[in-house]
């Protein structure tokens, strides 16, 4: 598929949308019957799904705090989601009020809610589809906020499992990691097929089968390969329940997360 042929999903209340199903798991109100139906199917199969969603948020916010404390003052939040609290901008600005955050999403409900929440200092939202990374990197709104000559955190949590292999997740990651300065960070998380019962995988795939994007399960090795060329921080690619502190959740379904640093260029 040519990268310029990816189409952004139009608003539909009758098709479940990943952002709104996630809002349902998190106890939000910005979801419709189709989203709740898909979410309930997942919860029937894996009752800890809402706690796993919160653990994923915990990982995301931990990555933000650690990278800001390491000196990063710019965050690119790919697949930013419907506003929640605490959120990326709140945690980042609490650690350093000079931090700038750009949220990117392709979901019309996310965009309208994030635009309505403009009062949050340091946060800007732009419409963008991560399957077209170069359009995001060339967007004037993006370049008003982000200076790619300085270190950034590229945050891409619970998004890449909505990107199929045909849509080339590695191409997306590489476009961003090539563009960012040495000393920048990449933090991502994605649901894994490793040590996951195939029946549970089938039930979750089925819950999202009529959604605007399918759920793609990948092995731990595959998710780890996305960090090639970067320096993974401890504990490497691990269950998001390990950040911050250990959260006791059933391990029958896991989201794996990792945080990595882009090393300086080595001269021959």
Ligand X SMILES: C[S@@+](CC[C@H](N)C(=O)[O-])C[C@H]1O[C@@H](n2cnc3c(N)ncnc32)[C@H](O)[C@@H]1O
Contacting positions for ligand X (CB under 6 A): 18-19, 22, 56-57, 60, 79-81, 105-107, 110, 129-131, 157-159, 162, 213
Q: Which two tokens stand for residue 22?
A: 């996630």
Closest distance between ligand X and the C-beta of residue 252, in Å? 19
Closest distance between ligand X and the C-beta of residue 115, in Å? 14
Closest distance between ligand X and the C-beta of residue 79, in Å? 3
Choice between 22 and 227, CB closer to ligand X: 22
* CB contact at 8 A, 208 and 16: yes
Report which of 246, 257, 262, 259 is spatially closest to residue 220, judged by C-alpha positions.
Answer: 257
Closest distance between ligand X and the C-beta of residue 46, in Å? 15
Closest distance between ligand X and the C-beta of residue 131, in Å? 5
Choice between 179 and 268, CB closer to ligand X: 179
Tally the C-alpha atoms within 13 A of residue 52's C-alpha that lie toward its C-beta: 23
Choice between 184 and 212, CB closer to ligand X: 212
Report which of 224, 129, 212 is spatially closest to residue 172, judged by C-alpha positions.
Answer: 129
Choice between 45 and 76, CB closer to ligand X: 76
Closest distance between ligand X and the C-beta of residue 148, in Å? 19
Closest distance between ligand X and the C-beta of residue 87, in Å? 9
Q: Which two tokens stand for residue 78?
A: 């790919």
Choice between 215 and 220, CB closer to ligand X: 215
Alpha helices in the chain (DSSP H): 18-25, 33-45, 49-69, 88-95, 108-116, 133-138, 140-145, 169-179, 198-207, 220-225
Choice between 230 and 255, CB closer to ligand X: 255
CA angle 128, 222, 54 (to 5 degrees): 60
**Dihedral angle computed from the Cα positions of residues 209, 225, 219 and 173, in that order, rounded to the nearest 10 degrees:** -20
Tally the C-alpha atoms within 13 A of residue 236's C-alpha that lie toward its C-beta: 6
Q: Which residue is nearest to ligand X (CB)?
A: 79
Question: Which DSSP string do the residues of 213-257 spell out, in sequence order?
Answer: S----B-HHHHHHTTTTSEEPTT-SEEGGGTTS-----SSS-EEE
Choice between 14 and 265, CB closer to ligand X: 14
């Amino acid at each position: 598929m040519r990268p310029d042929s990816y189409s952004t999903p139009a608003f539909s209340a009758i098709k479940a949308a990943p952002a709104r199903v996630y809002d349902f798991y998190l106890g939000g109100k910005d979801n419709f019957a189709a989203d709740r139906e898909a979410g309930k199917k997942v919860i029937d199969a894996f009752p800890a799904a809402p706690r796993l969603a919160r653990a994923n948020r915990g990982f995301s916010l931990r990555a933000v705090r650690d990278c800001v404390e390491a000196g990063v003052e710019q965050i690119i939040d790919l697949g930013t989601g419907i506003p929640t609290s605490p959120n990326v901008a709140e945690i980042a600005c609490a650690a350093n009020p000079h931090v700038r955050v750009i949220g990117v999403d392709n979901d019309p409900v996310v965009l309208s809610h994030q635009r309505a929440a403009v009062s949050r200092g340091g946060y800007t939202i732009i419409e963008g589809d991560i399957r077209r990374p170069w359009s995001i990197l060339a967007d004037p709104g993006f370049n008003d906020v982000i200076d790619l000559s300085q270190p950034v955190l590229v945050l891409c949590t619970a998004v890449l499992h909505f990107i199929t292999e045909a849509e080339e997740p590695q191409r997306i990651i590489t476009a961003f990691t090539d563009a960012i300065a040495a000393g920048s960070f990449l933090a991502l998380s994605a649901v894994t097929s490793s040590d996951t019962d195939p029946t549970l995988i089938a039930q979750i795939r089925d819950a999202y089968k009529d959604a605007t994007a399918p759920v793609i399960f990948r092995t731990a090795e595959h998710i780890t390969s996305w960090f090639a060329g970067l320096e993974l921080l401890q504990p490497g690619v691990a269950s998001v329940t390990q950040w911050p502190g250990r959260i006791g959740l059933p391990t029958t379904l896991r989201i794996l997360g990792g945080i990595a640093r882009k090393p300086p260029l080595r001269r021959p």
